[in-house]
Every structure is written in structure tokens, then in C-alpha cells.
Amino acid sequence: MLCSQDSGKKRQIPPTLAPIDALERYTQISSHPLHKTNKPGILSADIHPSKDIIATGGMDTNAVLFDRSSGQILCTLTGHSKKVTSVKFVPREDLFVTGSGDKTVRVWQGNEDGSYDCRHVLRDHTAEVQAVTIHATNKYFVTASMDNTWCFYDLTTGSCLTQVGEASGEEGYTSAAFHPDGLILGTGTSESLVRIWDVKSQSNVAKFDGHVGSVTAISFSENGYFLATAALDGVKLWDLRKLKNFRSISPYDTNTPTNSVEFDFSGSYLAIAGSDTRVYQVANVKLEWNLVKTFPDLSGTGKVTCAKFGGDAKYLAVGSMDRNLRIFGLPGVESEESRSPDQ
């Protein structure tokens, strides 16, 4: 059993959470060209938990911070020399972390005027950095790289406290996420394996196999019971209490990878993205996880790379292999976000 007893307590579903019948009516409400046309492609996205700010990382080597309520770009962060593969907000102290194909990680510090300065450039990896994940305390973060190692960093100093793995290994790390309680870390590899690590001892405490292709994304549910993993063969759901794969979702054909999988913060919905974006209702080990809504890929590329839920699942932010960030939600309620829908 991998979840501590108290981490599995039943989280109260907030009364402000968007109900299923609202999600069924979601449609594209806006589209924003955030990245350069000569190297299109949004590869990663994150949403600030308390501000209405969305970050995207692009093929054009830039990270962009976008204010959803005003529809304006707040700032474009330049400095990486290759694609930005992972972006993460750190709510404490207004920090922001980016990982890149240039093998480096950058820690950015927000200023009063909304701009960001690069505080640290971290060069501990010898291959592409594929994932960044922030610890529950907001004091540490982990980076995962194709060099078959993951690094555990102190956010304030930018120092690498430990580097785990063998740089000589054949497989690389393609995804990573912390469990909500911060005690375990999940990593996905290019060789279709999912490894679970005890953060304190840095020991590999479980290994899940069964996927086909690189494990492109992993997400823990907020109550700590479930892990969702995505690869070429779709999504697998794992019960962390029994270390078992209890359900598989195969939304696409065998040549189409699932690029993104993400639980919303309440743990009520699961977003899956590949050649389109799909939202499922989270159930349990025994009950069916019903498909709530499918959003076509309006980029025309057939490659959705990231899908993130906004607060209370009131909207879905979607990035594809064009330069546009798309927002799906209820038409006409942009200005009514503060009002809670009638349940």
C-alpha cells in the first residue's frame, strides 16, 4: 500500500465545482496565439491555483504567462535554447519553473510588475529534461530527464540535493509527478515502465508495467488513491492501495499516443488528450468511469499535447501542436465566474 492512511481521507467536493451537465455543454470560448508561427506547438501548460493565470511552454523555446480574465499575455520568458517541455507554478514566493530540451531547468522569480527574472539555471542533466513536478510543501521540486535520472532540488537555493538513477541506463524518464502527500514520486519511462519512489529514501518501492510506448504523462488523484498513466496504448488507472491496474481506457487507434492525463483538483474529473480531448467522470475501482464530453482538436494538427482544468473545473485549457491556447467552458459565463452554478 502506497498511500498513507491520512492522505486517503474523503475530500469534500466543493459546492462550486462545475457539475456534469455544465461540462457536457462546454465549447470553445476563446483561442489565443501565444507562441511563434515559425516553430508552432504548445507542449506543456500549467494553471496558477489562486490566480487566473495560465502558463504554456512551446516548441519556440519560450514560456508564456497568460492572464485568462483579460485575455492578455503578461510576459514571455526567453532563455532556453530548445523546446520548453514542462512548466510549473510554485504558488509560494511567486516562483515558476521550466524544463527544456536544452538539458537545463530554469527557476524564475516573479516581480511586483508581473515580469519574471531568471533566478537559477540548473545544469545537472545530460539529456533533455522532460518533466518538472513541485513538492506539496512548495519548498522542493523534482526534474526528470532522458538521461535516466531524476533530480531533487531545493527551490530557494536551486541546489540539487540528490540525483537518482543511472546515467548509463538505456531508458529515459519521460514524465514525473508527486503524490499529493509528498511522500512518494511517480516517474514514467521511455521503455513503458512506471516507477514509484519513496521520496525520503529515494528507493524504488513499486514498478508498474503493461503500457506500450513511452509513458507520456502521469497524474495522482487528490485523495491519493489513484494514479493515472498515459502512453501509446491509452490510459491505465492504478489502485495505489493494492498496486493494481483496475481499468484501462483506450480512446485512440494504435498509432495515436495519449499525450496528457490529468485529474482536476477535486478528483472528480479526469482529462485525457491525444488526437482530441476527453473528460471522464472519476468513479471507483468497481464502477465505470463514464465519458462526459469529447472536444475535437480544433488546431487541425490532430495532436493535443496538454489539457488542464481551471479552478472548480469551470474551464479546460488545451494546448496542441499549433501556437494557440484554447479555452473550453460555458459560453457567456466568462464574466460570471464568481457565481456558482445552481447544482
Q: Please provide the DSSP assignment of 41-76 as one string.
A: -EEEEEE-SSSSEEEEEETTS-EEEEETTTTEEEEE
Counting residues of the chain whose pLDDT is more than 70, the rounded percentage is 92
- pLDDT (mean) for 66-77: 94
For residue 308, what is the DSSP state?
E
pLDDT at 265 over 80: yes
Residue 168 has a pLDDT of 61
Per-residue confidence (pLDDT) for residue 301, from 0 to 100: 87
Please name every residue paired with 327 in a beta bridge, in sequence order, or none if there are none: 30, 317
Which triple of cell numbers denotes residue 144?
526528470
Q: Report the range of poorest mean pLDDT among 114-128, 168-182, 277-291.
A: 168-182
One-letter amino acid at 162 equals T
Per-chain mean pLDDT for the chain = 91
Secondary structure class of 81 (helix, strand, coil): coil
What does the alpha-carbon distance between residue 225 and residue 143 come to, in Å, rounded to a whole number? Answer: 23
Q: In whole angstroms, what is the distance from residue 226 CA to residue 245 CA?
A: 10
As a residue count, the chain comes to: 343
How far is residue 142's CA from residue 99's CA, in Å, rounded to a whole number? 10
* Cα separation of the two ends of the chain: 36
Q: What is the helix (H) or strand (E) element at residue 22, kind and residue range?
A: helix 20-23
Cα–Cα distances in angstroms (integers) from residue 133 to residues 87, 217, 218, in the given order: 9, 12, 11
The predicted pLDDT at position 332 comes to 77
Is residue 84 within 8 Å of 100, Cβ to Cβ? yes
Distances (CA, A) of 4 to 179, 240, 264, 305: 11, 10, 21, 32
Q: How far is 179 from 162, CA to CA, in rounded Å?
A: 19
Task: Kindly report which listed range (63-72, 168-177, 221-230, 303-312) carries the lowest average pLDDT score.
Answer: 168-177
Inter-residue contact 250 to 227 (CB < 8 Å): no
Q: What are phi and psi of 336, to 5 degrees?
A: -110, 20
Task: Provide the pLDDT confidence category of residue 3 given band limits of 50, 70 and 90.
Answer: low
pLDDT at 73 over 80: yes
Q: What share of the chain is helix, strand, coil (3-state, %, to 5)?
A: 5, 50, 45
* Check whether domain 5-336 has CATH 2.130.10.10, yes or no: yes
For residue 282, which of 254, 306, 262 has the smallest C-alpha distance? 262
